Amino acid sequence: MVSTWHPWREIEALRRDIDRAFNHVSQSNGPSFRSAFLPGRASRQYPLVNLSEDRDHIYVEALAPGVDPASIDVAVVRNVLTISGEKRRLPEELKRESIHRSERAAGKFVRSIELPIEIDSDQVKAEYKHGLLMVTLPTAAAAKPKQINVSVA
């Protein structure tokens, strides 16, 4: 096989296609829709994530401020990472007329992310700090690249 598979590049291409498909939506909703900080409203996925990788790990960082740490649930099944939790709403006893502004979305959320590489699900670590959820996923031994020595005859 000559061609190499670039999973991230393909995800990126897919994302661009989806963005194009939803382009008219973002225009009709004005600049606020494009803000990276708008919490999960309408068709937005929540939480937003950044993915990065090194040789042995995939790192998923999710933007999830104000989530009750006890409610956060991180699960890995094969290569699918599922993050769920609940962002606290304003106190229920508040009267409608006492609310001056309500810009922070709240409620329960769940998001599944399909990773392009097999994960060693026993070794997954998650840390919630300053409103960011950092998940460290070691790649499975079978998915790691192997160095093959070339012997010169």
Partner 1 sequence: MAEKTVVMTETPEEHAVQPADTHTHERYVSPPVDIYEIDDGLMVMADVPGVTQERLEIRVDNHVLTIRGQVPESNIPGSAYREYELVSYFRQFELSDKVDESKITADLKHGVLTLSLPKAEEAKPRKIAVAVG
Q: Which residues bind partner 1 (CB under 8 A)?
A: 8, 11-12, 15, 35-39, 45, 48-54, 59, 61, 63-67, 69, 90, 94, 97-105, 128, 130-132
**Minimum separation from the CB atom of position 105 to partner 1 (A):** 8
Residue with tokens 């840390």: 127
**Least spacing, CB of residue 32 vs partner 1, in Å:** 9
Question: Quick one: 99 or 150, whose CB is closer to partner 1?
Answer: 99
Helix (H) or strand (E) holding 126: strand 125-129
Closest CB to partner 1 among residues 104, 144 = 104
Rounded alpha-carbon distances, angstroms, from residue 153 to 146, 150: 21, 9
Report the nearest approach of partner 1 to the CB of residue 65 (Å).
3
Output the CA angle 9-127-51, nearest 5 degrees.
5
In the bound state with partner 1, the residue whose beta carbon lies nearer, of 70 and 150, is 70
Distance of alpha carbon 43 from its chain centroid, rounded?
15
CB-nearer residue toward partner 1: 91 or 153: 91
* Distance between CA atoms of residues 137 and 119, nearest Å: 6
**What minimum distance in Å lies between the beta carbon of 30 and partner 1?**
13
Residue 105 CA to residue 107 CA, distance in Å, equals: 7
